[in-house]
Structure 1
């Protein structure tokens, strides 16, 4: 059990555990956790729910690691940006 302080909740501890587990799994598979999380957080909204297992670190590495989506502003890779939908302007 995680000791609780004024700023901790059981739900927060559960979410922290999930994030720590993903980061640890990335490291076990020699995946940069930042690259993985940036890619998956962009990809997940359009990925079929029935194939969500593809986004686990182990399978993500075989399917998406060679060409990951990047943050819109990624100083490490200025030429590689994710493709974002164009903004719709109201007229």
Structure 2
């Protein structure tokens, strides 16, 4: 799957970033989480969340702690 997906990343750093997002989206799907809701919630929550508890924002733990009441995007209102 990677070879053709990495073709348009332009740099090795860009390919690494794409791999991180693909891993997050795949983890969400495996945990039964809507990736859009997860990313919207985490990107809003990350600036307020204590650094010592950052593990709570990985998809599996996020589902247990925040999945029932995720933050909404302004576009969803």
Aligned twin of 1:41: 43
Higher helix fraction (1 or 2): 2
Runs (4+) off by over 4 Å: 1-7
Alignment length, in residue pairs?
A: 75
Report which of the two structures shows the higher radius of gyration computed on alpha carbons: 1
- Over aligned residue pairs, what C-alpha RMSD do you find? 1.9
Gaps of 5+ in 2: none
Gaps of 5+ in 1: 79-91
| Aligned: 1:68 with 2:43 | no
User: Offset of 1:8 from its aligned partner?
Assistant: 1.1
User: Offset of 1:7 from its aligned partner?
Assistant: 5.4
User: Offset of 1:72 from its aligned partner?
Assistant: 0.8
Higher relative CO (Cα under 8 Å, sequence separation at least 6) belongs to 2
Aligned twin of 2:59: 57
d(CA) in 1 for partners of 2:15, 2:31: 24
